[in-house]
Every structure is written in C-alpha cells, then in structure tokens.
A and B are shown apart, each in its own frame.
Chain A
Amino acid sequence: MAFATIDTTLPIQPTRASAPTGGAASAATRSKANDEPVATRSLPRLVVGHVLLIVLALFSVFPVYWMFATAFRAPEDALSQNVIPWPLSLENFSYVVDAIPIMGMLANTFGMALVLAVAQLFVALLASYGFAMWDFPGKKVLFLVFVGSWLVPFQVTMIPNYVLVSQMGLLNTIAGVVVPNLCSAFAVMLMRQHMESFPRELLDASQMDGRSSWGTLWLVVVPNLKPALAALGIMLFISAWNEYLWPTLILQNSDALIQVGIRSFLGTEGNNWGAVMAASGLACLPIFLIYIFLQRYVVDAFVRSGLK
C-alpha cells in the first residue's frame, strides 16, 4: 500500500538533516535577510521539540520504571511513593519464584516464541520466494488470499479453531498455541517485498551456475537477506511472546506460558503489588534484553514493516 514513503532508516537521516541548509545556501542570489528568520525561528523550535520529546519519553518510561521500582522495594515499602526505591530488596522476586513456577513458564514461553518465529520465518521465506521469483497463473488470486487474511479478525475464527484444536487433542498444550499460528501472512508480505528488490543478476548468475531454485534460495538469497530475516525474526519473536488471547483460550487449565501464569497470579495476589510487579518485570525481561542489545533493529523492523 504505502511502503514507497518509508524506506528510509529511522534514526539517521543525513539527507534531511543537510538538505534544507544546502537548499538555502544554493539560493545565493537571495538576500541574506530571507535566510535569517528561518535560522532564528529554528532555535525555539528545537527547544520545543526537545521539551516535547522529553515529556513524551518520561510519560512512556515512567510506568515501566515504576514497575521495576516497586518490584525492587522491600515488601513493607510497597505503597511508598518515593521515586527511588531504597533500600533495594530482592524479596519480591524470591516470593514470586517460590509462589509460582515462573522460571519454567519463562522457559516454555521462550521455547514457544522461538519455535513460532522460526516456523513463521521459514514458511514466509518459501512463500515469498514463490511470489517474487515467478509469474504463474493464479498469482493474483493467491496474493489476495494472503492480503485478505488480514481482514479476518481473530475473534471471528476463534471458535472453529478452538474446536479444531480440541479435536486434535491439543487443548491445554503449548502445541495447541503454536500450530494455528504457523503461517503469518504479514511475514509473507514483508518478505516478498525484500525478495522483489533482490538483485536479479545474482539470481541469473546462480541459475547459470546450474543451481536449482532450492539451491539458489539457500545459497544465494538467504545469505544476502540475512539482515531482513533477522529483523523479521526478532519481530515475530516479540509478537509471539506478547500473544495473549489465543494462549489464554487454549491453556485454560494450565499455567505453562507466562501470559497465562501471570494472569492467574494477578487474580490470586490482587493487591500484593510488590510481588505482582516483580512477576510482570520478569515477564518482560527477555523482550527488554533483546531491545537493549538490538534496539535499532527492533525499532526499524516494527516501524518500517508498519508500512506495508
């Protein structure tokens, strides 16, 4: 739809940063007076921009900070409004670890999200390769099949899917959470865009070397699309980790995944805020670790894919 506009990487925009001044400078015939108001106007604007973004950043981060602040307080300080938690204590965390098998849940959820991300990536890689490399009868229809699936709200298909999963005997299993989500139409569309822009000469060269399409895919396409695959993989992992509705439907009698486990912990612990915040903090930990180390990738992946 609208990807044409958003192909710039987010954090760095050298062209935009330099071009306005370049444009102004090239207008050497214009009097200097014309440039001046722009320059003087831009300083207050810069300050306004910084102030706005600082306020927005505080608004975004404070609740998350507060979660960790509460989690690290000693349990008797739970209701303290002191901005800095002191003395620090790990008691809330040890309480959570004793109360629920949270480490097991984290491991299960990690495994689930990893399997799902890899499977979705694999299915999407094959499908997008099929789309991007050939013209074939029915291509348009199949394309619509993928795009159209976005219009089907999950809540509309959940009852038949629930019935099917229960017929397969997968209720209350992690497999029941994974199997219906193995294909992500969104991942297919995103990969297809990367494939479409793949240099044709490389493919032709590979074909001249006598490789099959399968060999070309793994020896030529995949190595060259590594960054795109990694970004998409991270995104799919995060989405799978944060998935809520389907796991809560399928795992009604099981606390195997973190989303479901924390949800029932919230129910039983009610106002034990220190413990609840510690559990929630642990539930976000893997995502935060990914984000700390791969921040640029994550933001780029989500924002750019945003525009499909």
Chain B
Amino acid sequence: MFVPSVAGAPAPADATRPGRPRRKLRLAPYLYLIPAVILLVTWTYKPLVESFWLSFFDWNLIPTSPKSFVGTENYTTVLTLPELHQALLNTGVYILAFLVFSLLLPVAIALLARRVKGRAKTVYQALIFIPFLLTPVATSAIWRWLFAPEGGTIPTIAATFGWDMGNVFRDPALSIWAVIVIVGWQMLGFGVLVISAGLAGINPDYSAAAALDGASTRQITWKIIVPLLSPSLVFMGLMTVLLSAQWTYPIIDIVTQGGPSGSSTNIYYLLYQFGFRNFDAGLAAAAGTLFFVGFGLIALIFVELTERLSFHDN
C-alpha cells in the first residue's frame, strides 16, 4: 500500500483488510528493517555465538596468539572456582537488596503518598528522580566522599553516635552494603515514579465501588490496588533482576574493585576481570554463556508471570 511500485493497482483484498496492506511479498518492510537487523546481528547475536564458541578454547585475547581447543574444561574450571561461588552469592544478595529499593519501598511510599497531588507532587517527583540521571562516575565520587574516613559526612555522623566506621569500602563486612546503598539510592526514586505512574493508571472507580460496598481501606489496598498494580510490579522486578548487575558495575569498578577479597564483587564484574584483567577469554566466555542461560531462564519466568498476573484494567 505504501510502495506503489510494488503494490500495483489496488486489489479487492484491500477492502477486506483495511489498514494493513495485502499479504503479498513486498520489499519495503525489509528495507526499513535492514539497518537495525544488521547492527543487532553484528554487535549482539554474532558475538553471542562467538562467545559460546570461545568458551571451548583457551585464549589470552591477543590476536596473534593461537586459540587452543580445551573442550569443556573452561566450564568445569568456572564452576569450581571459589571466586565464582562468592560472586554468585553476592549477586543474589544484591538482587534481593535491590528489590527492596526498587519494589518494596517504592510500593510503600507510593501507596502512602498517593494523596499528595498537584504542584507539590511535581516538585517531589522532579527531586527524587535526580539520582537516576546522575553520571555513574559522579555518583561513585560523591559517595566515596560521603563515606570518606576523614571528613566524610556519614562517618562523621556515625562517630557522634559512637560508631567508628573506618573505611567502609575496605571493610569486608561492609563493602557490599555500601555498594547497595549507593545503587539503591539511584534506583529508589525511579521505582517510586514507576509505581506511582502505575497507581495513577488504575481506574479509581474500582476502589470507589468497593468502598461503597463497605470494603475497608486496607482491603481495597490489598485486594484491588495491589493486584491491578501487578504489571508494574513484575516489570520493576524484571528490571531489577536483569539490570542490577549493569547498574552496580560502575560503582563496583570505581569504589571497591570488587574487594576487599571479593566481598563486594558480582558475576558481571567477575566476567570483566576474567576477560580484561586476567586476559582469560575462554573462561570469561564460559562464565558468560552460563549466566546468559541462567538469566534468560529467570527472564522467561518473569514474562510468564506477567502473562498470568496481568489483570488488565479495561
């Protein structure tokens, strides 16, 4: 329909399918899609396959040095590495902690603050969104300063309560929590805005009807609002699981380098270290393949959940 040269004279089929052009092989859609598809294949899918292929080789990333085939050795090495176990455990801790910042707190705040309207609301929203926009290097620098043992605001305040914090980033028990606070700080406002938008999208007639039938505020919240909110909740959950590793990377890289002794690392930072610190491309590729499969499964579960849990509001 949009490519007269290919489509030719209008056929009767057009009348039966208003809006969509006839089902006839035409070139135009493919031409429009080609640039994007070529780029995706070149920079996402081809490297994914290459990464899988590399995972069976031993290679130090230097183009001139040979790749030697080692079979599944990289996989057995990766799975028995203590660093990996620590990183996996930390990844779990990170994700659970981030779910508090991206879901639990935002839902609580959005529900408690939903009566705040108008100009005040716009101003609050503008302010709480700022951390999400901040450049990661700046975020890291700011929090390094806030946590600085000498003159940092947080240890100074802690000292007045009699707690000598020391350098949290060098403390194996605290470093992971420091990273969680920093990334959580970046996510919280975004979470609140997404959940508030979800709340705003719920037709108030349901709550009003339930209130007329004598439902209590608590009942309305848990039986009507939260289920209707489930698409936003599932979405934020998926975002958190899939992106938390991405969000933590710059902070870990600048603030703790995964340390001390692996206490704040996560699997993606470990992948980076395998590849670009130890120059062990095979190991990094094997670990990457495993995590791709693992996270893919988690994502599929979430997608399935979305389908099941979505009560559409119309």
> Which of B124, B130, B303 is A291 in contact with, Cβ under 8 Å?
B130
Residues of A within 8 A of B89 (CB): none
Known: A10-B197, A66-B153, A245-B250. A153 touches B291 (CB 8 A): yes
Residues of A within 8 A of B217 (CB): 41
Known: A70-B145, A135-B21, A259-B136. A153 touches B129 (CB 8 A): no
B156 lies within 8 A of chain A by Cβ: yes
- Cβ contact within 8 Å between B145 and A183: no
Residues of A within 8 A of B33 (CB): 126-127, 130-131, 142
Bound-state CA distance A280–B144 (Å) is 12
| B251–chain A nearest beta-carbon distance, Å | 10
- Cβ contact within 8 Å between B197 and A130: no
Residues of A within 8 A of B90 (CB): none
- Cβ contact within 8 Å between B19 and A200: yes
CB interface residues, A 107-163, toward B, < 8 Å: 123-124, 126-127, 129-131, 133-137, 139, 142, 145-146, 149-163
- Cβ contact within 8 Å between B310 and A49: no
- Cβ contact within 8 Å between A137 and B4: no
B25 lies within 8 A of chain A by Cβ: yes
- Cβ contact within 8 Å between B61 and A163: yes
- Cβ contact within 8 Å between A136 and B151: no
With both beta carbons as reference points, the residue of chain A lying nearest to B204 in the complex is identified as: A19
Residues of A within 8 A of B121 (CB): 11, 53
- Cβ contact within 8 Å between A302 and B145: no
B113 lies within 8 A of chain A by Cβ: yes
- Cβ contact within 8 Å between B212 and A1: no
Residues of A within 8 A of B130 (CB): 60-61, 64, 291
Question: Per-residue CB proximity of B300-314 to A under 8 Å, as 1/0?
Answer: 000100100010111
> Which of B32, B63, B128 is A163 in contact with, Cβ under 8 Å?
B63
CB interface residues, B 246-296, toward A, < 8 Å: 246, 249-250, 253-254, 268, 271-272, 275-276, 281, 284-285, 288-289, 291-292, 295-296
CB interface residues, A 1-53, toward B, < 8 Å: 1-2, 4-8, 10-11, 13, 15-17, 19-20, 23-24, 27, 30, 38, 41-42, 45-46, 48-50, 52-53
Residues of B within 8 A of A216 (CB): 2
- Cβ contact within 8 Å between A280 and B141: yes
Which of B71-79, B80-88, B172-180, B185-193 interfaces with chain A? B185-193
> Which of A60, A63, A136 is B142 in contact with, Cβ under 8 Å?
A63
With both beta carbons as reference points, the residue of chain B lying nearest to A129 in the complex is identified as: B32
With both beta carbons as reference points, the residue of chain B lying nearest to A216 in the complex is identified as: B2
Question: Per-residue CB proximity of B111-132 to A under 8 Å, as 1/0?
Answer: 0111111101110111111111
Bound-state CA distance A256–B127 (Å) is 31
- Cβ contact within 8 Å between B185 and A159: no
With both beta carbons as reference points, the residue of chain A lying nearest to B138 in the complex is identified as: A280
| B110–chain A nearest beta-carbon distance, Å | 10
With both beta carbons as reference points, the residue of chain B lying nearest to A281 in the complex is identified as: B138
B158 lies within 8 A of chain A by Cβ: no
Bound-state CA distance A146–B86 (Å) is 33
Bound-state CA distance A124–B35 (Å) is 9
B16 lies within 8 A of chain A by Cβ: no
> Which of A7, A79, A151 is B151 in contact with, Cβ under 8 Å?
A79
- Cβ contact within 8 Å between B131 and A157: no
Tell me how many residues of A have a C-beta within 8 Å of chain B. 124
- Cβ contact within 8 Å between B40 and A160: no
A283 lies within 8 A of chain B by Cβ: yes
A307 lies within 8 A of chain B by Cβ: yes
Bound-state CA distance A33–B180 (Å) is 48
Bound-state CA distance A114–B5 (Å) is 36
A244 lies within 8 A of chain B by Cβ: yes
Known: A53-B116, A127-B35, A307-B232. A146 touches B40 (CB 8 A): yes
B9 lies within 8 A of chain A by Cβ: no
- Cβ contact within 8 Å between B45 and A149: yes
CB interface residues, B 124-178, toward A, < 8 Å: 124-138, 140-146, 148, 150-151, 153, 156
| B214–chain A nearest beta-carbon distance, Å | 9
Residues of A within 8 A of B116 (CB): 46, 49-50, 53
CB interface residues, A 256-308, toward B, < 8 Å: 258-259, 262-263, 266, 271, 273, 276-277, 279-281, 283-284, 287-288, 291, 295-296, 298-299, 302-304, 306-307
A87 lies within 8 A of chain B by Cβ: no
Known: A156-B48, A213-B3. A61 touches B127 (CB 8 A): yes
- Cβ contact within 8 Å between B197 and A160: no
- Cβ contact within 8 Å between B137 and A212: no
| B235–chain A nearest beta-carbon distance, Å | 5
With both beta carbons as reference points, the residue of chain B lying nearest to A279 in the complex is identified as: B141
A207 lies within 8 A of chain B by Cβ: yes
* Residue from B5, B39, B44, B201 with most neighbouring chain A CB atoms (10 Å): B44
With both beta carbons as reference points, the residue of chain B lying nearest to A18 in the complex is identified as: B204
- Cβ contact within 8 Å between A241 and B135: yes
- Cβ contact within 8 Å between A63 and B137: no
Residues of B within 8 A of A263 (CB): 137, 254
CB interface residues, B 1-51, toward A, < 8 Å: 1-5, 18-21, 23, 25-26, 28-33, 35-37, 39-48, 50-51
Q: List 5 A-B contacts (CB under 8 A).
A: A11-B122, A27-B212, A53-B109, A59-B185, A60-B129
Q: State the 10 A-B residue pairs at the shortest beta-carbon distance, nearest first.
A: A23-B208, A130-B32, A213-B2, A2-B231, A79-B151, A183-B39, A160-B47, A49-B113, A127-B36, A156-B288
Sample of 10 further A-B pairs with CB below 8 A, known A6-B194, A11-B125: A50-B116, A60-B129, A61-B130, A66-B142, A157-B47, A163-B63, A200-B18, A241-B135, A259-B135, A283-B137
